[in-house]
Amino acid sequence: MNEPEVIRAMLGHPPAEPRTIAVVGLSENPDKPSHYVPAYMQQHGYRILPVNPMVESVLGERAYPSLADLPARPDVVNVFRLPKFIPAIVDQMLDLGFKNLWVQQGIINNEAAAVAEAGGIWVVMDRCIMVEHRFAQLS
């Protein structure tokens, strides 16, 4: 978990085609990290697929109620949900064959991470995707 090469690969470094990020828990509120972090990633060429059953659209993209409803396979599933919700997200990812899980800074569920990794999912946990992207840009 959190290996530098996994972080770089999830971000598409070395530079690759723009990546698709499904953001679970993306908020409409621009003051929340769950809005401005995905907005930053979108501004840097990433396609954002909001996953939030409570909103119709965010950041100019239609929102989807669950990972199973997405119109495209995301390169990364980025999570802004409480730790207790991570196991169900991992189960969905395993069912759908999604391979990259990024759980935002301050959100930790080591048991879910172990299940994900045992199922072949690469995991980054308790790291901010925006901060890591900025760092990668400076490297």
Q: Are strands 47-51 and 20-24 parallel, antiparallel or unpaired?
A: parallel
| Rounded Cα distance, 89 and 85, in Å | 7
Note the CATH number of domain 4-138.
Answer: 3.40.50.720
Within 10 angstroms of residue 133's Cβ, the number of other Cβ atoms is: 19
Total-model pTM: 0.92
**Extents of the domains making up the chain:** 4-138
Please write the tens of the pLDDT for every residue from 16-33.
555 899 999 999 999 999
pLDDT, one tens digit per residue, over 81-97 is 999 999 999 999 999 99
Residue with tokens 């698709």: 20
Task: Name the helix (H) or strand (E) containing 129.
Answer: helix 129-138
Q: Residue 100: helix, strand or coil by DSSP?
A: strand
Give me the mean pLDDT over the 61-81 stretch.
96
